[in-house]
Amino acid sequence: MSQSTFKERVILIIRSIPKGHVASYGQVASYAGSPRAARQVGMILRFSNDDTLPWWRVINNEGRISIKGSFYATPQMQKELLGKEKIAVSEEFGLHMEIYRWKPTLAAIKKIVRAK
């Protein structure tokens, strides 16, 4: 597990979120081996300029867009990108996490993290 860094694992996990699904910051942190490091997932994305990374599929645990604005992205962009995947995000209610949340098996996560 600690062959790779937290950041590297976060990147691998986010790349594995299927189109049409989302994951919360906390979920990603948890899968990356640090359940309480949700905030850092946000920080990593904030400074990331990796165009192979589907960053828009990461939202907060309430199903709402958390981004306020970074060097590379805005909340409007995120809403648009999700819309292209048929995920509608309402300003006041967000989206239904129980419907769109990515629910990988433990085995799947192990495989993703191991493949470094």
CA 31 – CA 28 distance, rounded (Å): 5
Among 1, 5, 15, 99, binds DNA (CB under 7 A): 5
Give me the 16-45 binding string for DNA, x by CB under 7 A, dash otherwise.
--------xxxx------x-xxxxxxxxxx
Q: d(Cα 83, Cα 89) in Å, to the nearest integer?
A: 8
Binder among 6, 79, 85, 94 for DNA (CB under 7 A):
6
Contacts with DNA, residue ranges (CB under 7 A): 5-7, 24-27, 34, 36-48, 55-56, 58, 60-62, 66-68, 70, 72-73, 78
